[in-house]
Amino acid sequence: MRHADANPDVDQLTLTDVLAALSDPLRVGLVRLMADGAEYTFGEFAVPVAKSTLSHHLKVLNAAGLTWRRDEGTRCYLRLRRDDLDTRFPHLLDTVLAAADRDDVGSHVGNHAGHHVTTP
């Protein structure tokens, strides 16, 4: 629930905010993981930073409109806002993801096993 300014409207998104959010390798790694369309929770991201830092990065991604978050009980589910991004900035996400894949940007972000990987 926390975080009243979560999930900004599509028309509030700005290009420079999106690009700034994607200018950090760790955040690109997070986005690449979420690119499968599945929902992820905090603990499913295997990142080499403290959990407060991860919380910060996920907040940046959400504020820029890159993720959709849904809180359920004590945990929140995150998912890429691919359709909204595509509407607002056509092809941008695909193009960045393709380049990130080619260069393996943010490969230090992994997926913790034992959690759901299926697209709901």
Partner DNA sequence: TAGGTTGTTCGATGTTCACCGAACTTCGAA
Partner DNA sequence: TTCGAAGTTCGGTGAACATCGAACAACCTA
Name the binder of 73 from its own copies, DNA, none, CB < 5-8 A by kind.
DNA
| Binding characters for its own copies, 4-43, by CB under 8 A (x = yes) | ----------xxxx-xx-xxxx--x---------------
Name the binder of 61 from DNA, its own copies, none, CB < 5-8 A by kind.
none
- What residues numbered 81-100 form the site for its own copies, per CB under 8 A? 89-92, 95-96, 98-100
Q: What is the 3-state secondary structure (H, E, C) of the chain?
A: CCCCCCCCCHHHCCHHHHHHHCCCHHHHHHHHHHCCCCCEEHHHEECCCCHHHHHHHHHHHHHCCCEEEEEECCEEEEEECHHHHHHHCCCHHHHHHHHHHHHCCCCCCEECCCCCCCCC
Nearest residue (CB) to DNA, 43 versus 90:
43
* Residue 107 interacts with its own copies (CB under 8 A): yes or no: no
